[in-house]
Structure 1
């Protein structure tokens, strides 16, 4: 009979990895609502002011054509608001459908009480497909991600559109353009949210825009660079004093001077830095984890299986050639961590926190830090034909005298 406790599903802990599945549509709904509110406030204020100005005008002095023009302007503005609100309402309905499908998907897990349930295999396969789509989207393989989502029928469980927009803006930055990234910063009330986060993304984009103006047009149109600095950089002179001082001195330094302290500002590597900054800001704004969820799941699985012995017996972690016994242990091992494919990947993940352990009685610790039961050490020494008072490490083959061993007590 199987271990019932070991196969029982802990639903709350099982869904810790799936928080972004519900969180992202919620954040997008909030962003959509804030953007709609921003448009209503902006256009509403414009219409109110124009209406007040038109109503208080002296009709004996104001031409009738001007009054009709103002009324037409207000009508056109309100029609524009209606079109925008229609688009926001459609986006809201789309996000609600995504949220509903995801809640239903996660609720299915609560109908299962064991990993042996036949329905759990199908559910976990869908979850793996989601993680694979997330991984592909974060690495820019948008077409492959969309094709996989369509083939598996999980379009409502993944966020292809959101990551495609991020990928498009990131690609434009790597191609040397800040236009799309600046438009993203200015969309709706994103600027206000970035200010709350103390994000320097918009400033760094404007700073790079200034660098490109200086690089290409400073010799013929220096006033353009000065006007840009006055409008976009000067207000941040107290917040970013170092960058502001560099901006002031940049006009006097030609781009071709590689020995200059300003040469890093003209480096193409800055575009990659801006792309990474945009990606991290985008993920923070939408409460997305900084790494693919597939990496998180894989790290958790590796950590749950990892023990100190997994790397201590690996040839790459020992000085010199491995012993014959070590090679045999590696060949016979079925531990995933000890496998060639996963051993190096698991090297930096923490060890599992096991609440239960099974140890041999009468543990003795060797000088190299490994511990074995006294009976097993004596039996192995006898089979190896060692002298009296000597023991041999079962893994490395090192030989030690009994007086160098220490008694181990489990607390």
Structure 2
């Protein structure tokens, strides 16, 4: 529970830490301006005292007031201009501080709502499994819809339950979807703006997204036949990546000479043809989502997918892929079978016997019965077979055709 739900609280907490750092920076800037203002005030007071002393003659009599000079007027104007600049700076910092306070309050409210949500769930119990899962299911489903880009459907669900809004990353996924749509439309501008805005964070997670976007724009220029523009673009935007991505950069630059069809036109084994394929845009979408999730401390996969995979893996056995599988097995459905293809098989410490005829589990209420020929069926299946024979005393084995008396059946006790 703690491992699965940890990103649920960590995301707004990390945003709160960021807002607190910005608030600290603003307070430091205000402190600098106030110190500068105090310094000017102290300097002005000292100058006034010196001027007062100069106006006193030797006998203690006050000298005539000096007339205003041009230099004194200029000094006063400069001082007044500096004061105006400092007051303007303080006003701007005050607005930033108010905005930061509002952001902090919003993140604190989100953290509080999520912690209260987890507390309200309590511990899991079979007697309250339905209500326990229902509270979490709405959040998991809407989170999955947001990740898949179904924003209208997700917003409809949020509008019907306002409590969900504080439990979801609506702003993050809304801005991310705009970038995904632009990449699917074969445009890199919006994604590059996002990279420039979060360059320091992307550098910390060692992201290659900005480099890949620059390579994509360069290759598009080559593909359009604008070789001169591509060379100019590479000098401006790609040269800085040479120390860290030399191999990929050399491969991209080779397209200026060979193009997408080297050594022969329409060669399926082209050395550089993959750089011009549409798959590159899908790879950019995948790379953006991966880095975006990592930057915001979000899990790479939705919690709904993790829960479904965990449940299918717990139920997956080799028997699930045979024709004799139980009807109760979720993997009897094609959709679940496709999802579970790469999942590991479950480790069962106790075997579970399934009847060949009814596909029902054989247990103490429906025990396995052994026929004289060694075939095993459930008691309910054997009773149905006896009724089908007519007399109710004979059984015909559906697999071998052997006939035996019902009284010859023996109950099996699996170990």
Under a length normalisation based on structure 2, what TM-score does the superposition of the two structures give?
0.65
Match of 2:126, SS state, is coil
Q: Is this contact kept in 1: 2:9–2:111, CA < 8 A?
A: yes
| CA gap 1:340/1:71 in 2 versus in 1, 3 angstroms | same
Q: Is this contact kept in 2: 1:201–1:278, CA < 8 A?
A: yes
Q: Is this contact kept in 1: 2:293–2:300, CA < 8 A?
A: yes
Aligned match for 1:28, one of 15, 34, 37: 15
Match for residue 145 of structure 1?
154
| CA gap 1:303/1:21 in 2 versus in 1, 3 angstroms | same
Q: Is this contact kept in 2: 1:131–1:293, CA < 8 A?
A: yes
Specify every segment of 5 or more residues in structure 1 that has no aligned partner in the other structure, as ranges. Answer: 1-12, 315-325, 361-373, 385-393, 398-409
Distance of 1:69 and 1:396 partners within structure 2: 102
Distance of 1:80 and 1:202 partners within structure 2: 32
Match for residue 5 of structure 2?
18
Q: Is this contact kept in 2: 1:129–1:152, CA < 8 A?
A: no
| CA gap 1:60/1:276 in 2 versus in 1, 3 angstroms | farther
Match for residue 99 of structure 2?
87
Q: Is this contact kept in 2: 1:29–1:92, CA < 8 A?
A: yes
The answer to whether 1:357 aligns with 2:369 is no
Structure 1 position 60, deviation (Å) = 6.3
Deviation string, structure 1 residues 66-89 (Cα, Å, up to 9, x no partner): 776666555545544443343333
The answer to whether 1:274 aligns with 2:261 is no
Under a length normalisation based on structure 1, what TM-score does the superposition of the two structures give?
0.65
Structure 1 position 348, deviation (Å) = 3.1
Give the number of the structure with larger relative contact order, counting CA–CA contacts within 8 Å between residues 6 or more apart. Answer: 1
Match of 1:199, SS state, is coil
**Superposition map of 1:94-105 within 5 A:** 94-105=106-117
Q: Is this contact kept in 1: 2:261–2:272, CA < 8 A?
A: no
Deviation string, structure 1 residues 126-177 (Cα, Å, up to 9, x no partner): 2111111011001101111111122133111122221111111221222233
Structure with greater Cα Rg: 2
Match for residue 342 of structure 2?
348
Match of 1:334, SS state, is coil
Structure 1 position 26, deviation (Å) = 1.7
Distance of 1:134 and 1:378 partners within structure 2: 57
Distance of 1:283 and 1:139 partners within structure 2: 13
Q: Is this contact kept in 1: 2:12–2:110, CA < 8 A?
A: yes
Aligned match for 2:184, one of 163, 174, 186: 174
Count of paired positions: 334
Distance of 1:267 and 1:82 partners within structure 2: 51
The answer to whether 1:132 aligns with 2:141 is yes
**Superposition map of 1:299-314 within 5 A:** 299-311=309-321, 313-314=322-323
Distance of 1:209 and 1:46 partners within structure 2: 44
